[in-house]
Chain A
Amino acid sequence: MAKSPVRTVKHLLTRPIRLPRLTPYVPAPDDPTIFWFNSERDDIIREVTRRCVERHVHEQRPLEYVLNEVAHEEVKRLESQRDDEARDSLGFWRGTMRRVGRMSESEKKETLRLICERMAWDIAGNFDPRIYQFATRAVPPLLTGVMKPSALPEDLMTMASGTHVVDEMLRTEGDIDRLKRLAKRGTLVFVPTHSSNLDSIALGYALMREGLPPVVYGAGKNLFTNPIISFFMHNLGAYRVDRRIRAALYKDVLKTYSCVMIERGYHSLFFPGGTRSRSGMLERKLKLGLAGTAIEAFSRNRVRGIARPVFFVPTTINYGLVLEAETLVEDWLKEAGKARYIIEDDEFSQLDRWLAFFRRVAQMESACVIRFGRPLDPFGNAVDDDGGSLTPDGRVIDPGTYVQFRGVPTIEPRRDAEYTREMGQVLVGEFERDTVLMSTQIVAHALFRRLVRATPGVDLFGRLRHRGEVTVRRDDLAREVGQMRERLRDLASRGEVHLSELADRGDATTLIDRVFAAWNGYHRRTIVIEHDGQITAEDPTMLLYYQNRLVPYAERVAGEGDLAAAREIARLG
C-alpha cells in the first residue's frame, strides 16, 4: 500500500535530519565538550555495546532468557503499535524468538551485541555546532515574533542579539560564575524540577544565554514527533528515550549510554522526578532513574584513576503560568497517582495553545524563573569555589573516599544505588529551599485555603465539586495575600524559599489584578470571577494546581485561624 504524501513527509521529518557536511567540524580547544560529540559518537556506541554485552555474558542468567525476554517484549509492543517501526522490525524480533533455542552460545552473544548496538544507535543523539550557533542567534527573535508580533520587524532586519522579549520573560538566578568555573573542572549534572515540556527548552536557552556549556539530555521519543522541535532536539544534543520499550535490556543500554557520556565529561541534564509533576507540587519522592548513572560514572572513573569530579546542580524551574496545567491536573485527579506516563494530546502538541500561552506570558514580567541552586558532589556535600567537597565543619575532603572500601576504589552497584537514593532525599530539601514562588501560586493558595476552611471534613474530591460556592471580598483577599506575603518574606530572609520579583514587591491589589489577568488571558477554564468587588472561586481544580506549589510551606505561612486548613493542605504532600 502506497503511503500518502503527507505521511511520507511526516515520516521523513521525524527521522534524524542532519545537515550535510562537506568537511568535518574540527572543534577548537576551548569549545564545550559537546562540540566533540560527533567525532566520538561511534566510539561511545561501541563502548556502550561492549559493556552491555559483557555484563550479560557474565551474569547468572542464560543469554537465552535475556534474548527471549527482549524479543517477547518488543513483539508485544510492535504488534500493538502497528506503525512504520512495526513494519520494519517485527520480522527481526519474531525471527529471534524462533531461532534463539537453536543458537550456539556465540550466535546468542552476536545477536545480543547486534540488539544492543541497534538500541544504542537509536538512543544516540547528534550535535551540530552550526545549528547551535544558529539557534543562539535566531531563537530570541523568533520567540519574540511569536509573542509580540509588533516587535518583530527590526529584530528580523538586524538579527540583533540584544535584549528580546524572551529575555525579559526568562529570569535566571543563582551563582552562575561559580557554575562556569566548575564546568571547567568537572562534569555538571543539572537536576531540575519538572512541570512542563517547555522545561528543557527554557533551561537549554538559559544555559546558552548565560554562557554556560550546552548539556546532553534524554528526551521522550514522543517529543520528537513535532518535526521542528525534533530537528532542534536532535541537533542540540538530545538523545532519544523510548518510554514504550519495556524490555529490561533497553533500560540497561540507556543507563550505560548515560553513564559513558558522564564519564567522558559531557555535561548532562536529567529530570530526577522522571516525568512532569502532574499535581503542580514540588516532587517529594525522587527516584532519580538515569541521574543515578552520574554516581556510577564517578565511581568508574575513580577505579580507572580519573579524578574528574561530578557536580549535581539542583535547579528549580518556576512558571507563573504552566502551559499544560489543565491537562496535567486532570490527569493527576483521574489517576490519583497512577498517571498516564505519556501524554501525547496535551497543550504541548497544539500550536494554538503555544501562541495563546506565549502571547499571555509576554505581558508578564519574568514568566519563568530558573534558579540554579548550590552545586553538590555526588554524596550530597556542598562544594567550594574550586569544586572541592566540603564537610559540615568546612574541611575539604576527597570525594573519592566515598567509593573506596579499605582504601581502594571499587565498583559496587548496590552502594551506588543507595547513594542515589540519598541524593534523591537531599534534592527534595534543595528544591524546597530553591523554589521561587510566583504570584499566581500565592493568590491561588489564599483562595484554596478559604475553600478548605469553608468545607471542614470534606475530602479533596468533594471540595473540588464546590464550584463557585466560595466568595470573598476583594479587600479581604488582598489583606490575606498581604499577610501571606509578609510570612513568605520572613521565610525568604531565612533562606527557606524565594519569591519572584512581583510576588516580593508588588502591592497585594496589583498582584491580584495581574494574576487574574494572566489566568483569564490564557486558561480556557474560568478560574475566578469578579463581580462588584466580590471574588468567586469558580474552578477549585485549577486553584488546587497552582496552590500545590505552596504545600510544603502551608503551615509556615498560615495565621492562627488558618492553621487547621493549612494542615489539611500540607497533608496533600
Chain B
Amino acid sequence: MSTPIGVIGGGGFGVGLARAIARNGRTATLWSRRDGEVGERIEPTRDIAALGRCELIFVSVPSMHVAKVAEQLGRHLDGRHLLVHVSRGLVGEELRTVSRVLRELTPARRVGCLAGPISAKSIAEGVPGGGIVGTGFPEVADALREAIAGPTLRLYQTEDVVGVEVSAALVGLLALAIGYAQEMGINPAALAILATRGMVETARIGVSLGADDRTFAGVAGYGDLIAAVAGDERPELELGRALGRGLTLQQAGEHAGAYIEGVTIARRVQRHAMRRGIEVPIIEALADALDGKLTPTGVIERLMSRRSKRE
C-alpha cells in the first residue's frame, strides 16, 4: 500500500503527524495555508484536491475552522475516505462534535477522533506516549495505527466517539483552569478537588450529548487530565497561567502562542448546561472569569463558598 496519507493543517500537531507518518515509511501529503514543512517523505501542498488521492486523512485545524476546511475538502471526497481529526473543540451553541461537522459537510462517513494524553511533541519525536482513537469503524483504527503507531506510541480504541470528543474539548478547558490555579499558588489537595470535580462536570455534559460516562474515567478523560496536571506544557496550561498573572485574554493569547478553544467553549457549555438543567459550577466560574466578570480571587471565593454535599 503506497497511497499517501493526508494531513490538513500545518500547526504543531499537523507537522507532528506528518513526521510520524514519514517515520513509519509512508508519504505524508501536508496541506497548509502557510509554507509547510518539507522533509523526507513529506510533500507540502496548497491544493486541497491533492488529498482526494489519499485514503486516510488527518484533520488538524482548530475546531472553529473545521467547517470551512470540511466544505473545501468535501468536494474531493467520497465514501472511500477515512478521516481522523485531532481538534479539541465543540462547535456552535449546540456543542456539535467535530466528527459530526465532518459527517455533515463532507460525504465521508468513516470518521474518528484522536485524543487523550497524546501531544504534538510525543508524536513528532517518537518519545513514549499514548492516546485513544474514538471510532466505530475498525478500518479507521487499523489505518491510523498503521500510519502513526510505533514502538513508543500506544493507541487505545473506543467506539464512544462523542465521549472522546467531549473529553478532549473540556479537559482543554480544565487545563486552562489548572494553569490559572497553579499561578495563584493552589495547594495539591485543592488542585485535586478542582481537577476531579471538573471531570465530574465534564462527564455530565458528555452524557447529555450522548456519551458513555465510563469514557471519562479512561485514557480520553482522566488520562488526558493527569497529563495536564503533570504539566505536559500544552498551550492551555500556559494560557491559564498567563491569565492568572492578570494578563488580558488578548495578551495571554499572544503570550501562549496559540488561539485556544477553551476561551469560547466555557460560556457555550455553561449555556447548554443551563438549558438542560445540569450543574456546572466550575465551568460557570471559568466562563465568568474569562468574560472578565470575576477576578481570580473571586473565582476561588465563589467555588469554596459552595455547600459541600455527597459526591
Q: Which residues of A contact B (CB under 8 A)?
A: 379-381, 389, 391-393, 395, 397-407, 412, 414-415, 417-419, 421-422, 555, 567-568, 570-571
Whether B55 lies near A419 (C-beta < 8 A) is no
B33: chain A residues within 8 A (beta carbon): none
- Report, nearest first, the 3 A-B pairs whose CB atoms are least far apart: A401-B79, A402-B79, A418-B136
Known contacts: A379-B79, A571-B277. The answer to whether A405 contacts B139 by CB under 8 A is yes
Cross-chain pairs A/B with CB under 8 angstroms, 25 sampled: A380-B109, A381-B107, A389-B107, A391-B74, A391-B106, A391-B107, A392-B74, A392-B105, A393-B71, A393-B74, A395-B107, A397-B79, A398-B78, A404-B80, A406-B1, A407-B80, A414-B137, A418-B159, A422-B109, A555-B275, A567-B275, A567-B277, A568-B277, A570-B275, A571-B277
Question: Which A residues are CB-close (under 8 A) to B104?
Answer: 392
Closest to A381 in B: B107
Are B78 and A401 within 8 A (Cβ)?
Answer: yes
Say yes or no: is B276 at the interface (Cβ < 8 Å to chain A). yes
- Determine the distance from Cα of A415 to Cα of B276 in the docked complex, in whole angstroms: 33
Shortest distance between the CB of A317 and any CB in chain B (Å): 26
Partner of A395, one of B75, B80, B137, B277: B75
B105 near A415 (CB under 8 angstroms)? no
A405 cross-chain contacts in B, Cβ below 8 A: 139
Q: In this assembly, does B138 line the interface, its C-beta being within 8 Å of a C-beta of chain A?
A: yes
A400 / chain B contacts, CB cutoff of 8 Å: 79
- Whether A414 touches B79, Cβ cut-off 8 Å, given contacts A380-B109, A392-B74, A406-B1, is no
- CB-contacts of B42-81 with A (<8 A): 55, 71, 74-75, 77-80
Residues on B with C-beta less than 8 A from A567 are 275, 277
CB neighbours of A417 from chain B (8 A): 136
A392 to B78, CA, bound (A): 11
Q: Which residues of B contact A393 (CB under 8 A)?
A: 71, 74-75
* CB pair B75 A415 closer than 8 Å: no
Q: Give the complex CA separation of A571 and B278 in angstroms.
A: 11
Alpha-carbon distance between A412 and B136 when the two chains are bound, in angstroms: 12
| Interface status of B23 (Cβ within 8 A of chain A) | no
Query: In the complex, which residues of chain B have a beta carbon less than 8 angstroms from the beta carbon of A398?
Result: 78-79
Q: Are B1 and A415 within 8 A (Cβ)?
A: no
- Beyond A402-B110, A421-B136, 14 additional pairs, beta carbon < 8 A: A380-B103, A391-B107, A392-B74, A392-B105, A392-B106, A393-B75, A397-B78, A398-B78, A402-B79, A404-B80, A405-B139, A414-B136, A415-B139, A555-B275
Specify which chain A residues have a CB less than 8 angstroms from the CB of B137 in the assembled complex: 414-415, 418
B99: shortest Cβ distance to chain A, in Å? Answer: 10
- Could you tell me the distance between the alpha carbons of A418 and B110 in the complex, rounded to whole angstroms? 9
| Bound form: Cα–Cα A403–B110 in Å | 10
Q: Which of chain B's residues has its CB closest to A417's CB?
A: B136
Among A392, A406, A421, find the residue whose CB has the most chain B CB atoms closer than 10 A.
Answer: A392
Tell me whether A401 and B80 are in contact (CB under 8 A): yes
The chain B residue with its CB closest to the CB of A285 is B210
Minimum CB distance partner of A395 in chain B: B75
CB <8 Å contact, A392 and B107: yes
- Minimum distance in angstroms from B275 CB to a CB of chain A: 6
- State how many angstroms separate the Cβ of A18 from the closest Cβ of chain B: 43
> Pick the contact of A422 from B103, B105, B138, B277 — CB < 8 Å?
B103
- Distance to closest chain A CB from B84 (angstroms): 15
Chain A contacts for B75, CB-based, 8 A: 391, 393, 395
With CB as the reference atom, state the residue of chain A lying closest to B276.
A571
Query: Quick one: closest A residue to B77, CB to CB?
Result: A391
A416 vs chain B, min Cβ distance (A): 10
Q: Given the complex of chains A and B, what is the CA–CA distance between A392 and B108 in angstroms?
A: 10
- Tell me, in angstroms, the Cα distance from A400 to B74 when the chains sit together: 17
Can you name the residue of chain B whose Cβ is closest to the Cβ of A380?
Answer: B109
Cα A571 to Cα B272 in complex, Å, equals 12
How many angstroms between the C-alpha atoms of A14 and B85 in the bound complex? 56
Q: How far is the CA of A389 from the CA of B107 in the complex (A)?
A: 10
Chain B residue contacts of A402, Cβ below 8 A: 79-80, 109-110
A399-B275 Cα distance, complex, nearest whole Å: 39
Q: How far is the CB of B26 from chain A (nearest CB, A)?
A: 14
CA distance A422 to B110 in the complex (A): 10
- Bound together, the chains give a CA A555 to CA B77 distance in angstroms of 37
Assembly CA distance A399 to B109 (angstroms): 11
Residue of B103, B109, B275 contacting most chain A CB atoms (<10 Å): B109
**A379 in contact with B80 given A393-B71, A393-B75 (CB within 8 Å):** no
Chain A residues with Cβ under 8 A from B77's Cβ?
391
**Chain A residues within 8 Å of B110, by CB:** 402, 415
Instruction: List residues of chain B with CB within 8 A of the CB of A391.
Output: 74-75, 77-78, 106-107
**What is the distance, in angstroms, from A423's C-beta to the closest C-beta of chain B?**
10
- The proximity string for B residues 78-104 relative to A, scoring 1 for CB distances below 8 Å and 0 otherwise, is 111000000000000000000000011
> In the complex, what residues of A have CB within 8 A of residue B105's CB?
392
Encoded as 1 (CB less than 8 Å from any A CB) or 0, chain B from 275 to 291 comes to 11100000000000000
Bound Cα distance A391, B107 (Å): 5
Closest chain B CB from A312 CB (angstroms): 14
Give the chain A neighbours of B159 by CB distance below 8 A.
Answer: 418
Kindly report which residue of chain B lies nearest to residue A399, judged by CB atoms: B79
Task: Annotate B131-168 by CB proximity to A: 1 below 8 A, 0 otherwise.
Answer: 00000111100000000000000000001000000000
Q: Give the chain B neighbours of A419 by CB distance below 8 A.
A: 109
Query: CB-nearest residue of chain A relative to B139?
Result: A405
* B1: nearest chain-A partner, CB-CB: A406
Contacts of B78 in A (CB 8 A): 391, 397-398, 401
Q: How far is the CB of B179 from chain A (nearest CB, A)?
A: 34
Interface residues of B in 261-276 (CB under 8 A from A): 275-276
* Chain B 19-44 interface mask (CB, 8 Å, partner A; 1/0): 00000000000000000000000000
Bound-state CA distance A87–B40 (Å) is: 76
Which chain B positions have C-beta within 8 A of A418? 136-137, 159
B160 → chain A, closest Cβ, in Å? 11
- List of B residues within 8 angstroms of A568 by Cβ: 277
Q: How far is the CA of A162 from the CA of B107 in the complex (A)?
A: 46
Q: Which residue of B lies closest to A404 (CB)?
A: B80
Tell me, rounded to whole Å, the shortest Cβ–Cβ distance linking B20 to chain A: 21
Q: Contacts of A399 on B, CB cut-off 8 Å?
A: 79
Are A379 and B109 neighbours in the complex by a CB distance under 8 Å?
A: yes
Interface code B213-240, partner A: CB below 8 Å = 1, 0 otherwise?
A: 0000000000000000000000000000
Residue with the highest number of chain A CB atoms closer than 10 Å, among B79, B80, B277: B79
> Judging by beta carbons under 8 Å apart, are A406 and B55 in contact?
yes
The complex places the Cα of A69 from the Cα of B1 at a distance, in Å, of 44
In the bound complex, how far is the Cα of B272 from the Cα of A555, in angstroms? 13
A475 to B136, CA, bound (A): 54
Min CB gap B103→A, angstroms: 7
Q: Which residue of B lies closest to A410 (CB)?
A: B139
Please give the distance in Å from A396's CB to the nearest CB on chain B. 10
Distance in Å from the Cβ of B75 to the closest Cβ of chain A?
5
A397-B275 contact, Cβ under 8 Å, with A391-B78, A412-B138, A417-B136: no
Could you say which residues of chain A place their CB within 8 Å of the CB of B71?
392-393
A414 to chain B, nearest CB (A): 5
Closest residue of chain A to B72, judged by CB?
A: A393
Find chain A residues with CB under 8 A from B136 CB. Answer: 414, 417-418, 421
* Nearest CB on B from A355, distance (A): 44
Expressed in whole angstroms, the minimum distance between the Cβ of A397 and any Cβ of chain B is: 4
What is the minimal beta-carbon distance from B97 to any residue of chain A, in angstroms?
A: 11
Per the bound structure, the CA–CA distance linking A391 and B104 in Å amounts to: 10
Residues in chain A near residue B74, CB distance under 8 A: 391-393
In the complex, chain B residues whose CB is within 8 Å of the CB of A414: 136-138
Cβ contacts under 8 Å, A392 to chain B: 71, 74, 104-107
B1 contacts which chain A residues (CB < 8 A)? Answer: 406
Distance in angstroms from A393 CB to nearest chain B CB is: 5
Closest to B277 in A: A571
Q: Nearest residue in A to B109 (C-beta to C-beta)?
A: A379
In the assembled complex, the Cα of A555 lies from the Cα of B275 at a distance in Å of 10
A549 vs B275: C-alpha distance in the bound complex, in angstroms? 19
Among B55, B107, B136, find the residue whose CB has the most chain A CB atoms closer than 10 A.
Answer: B107
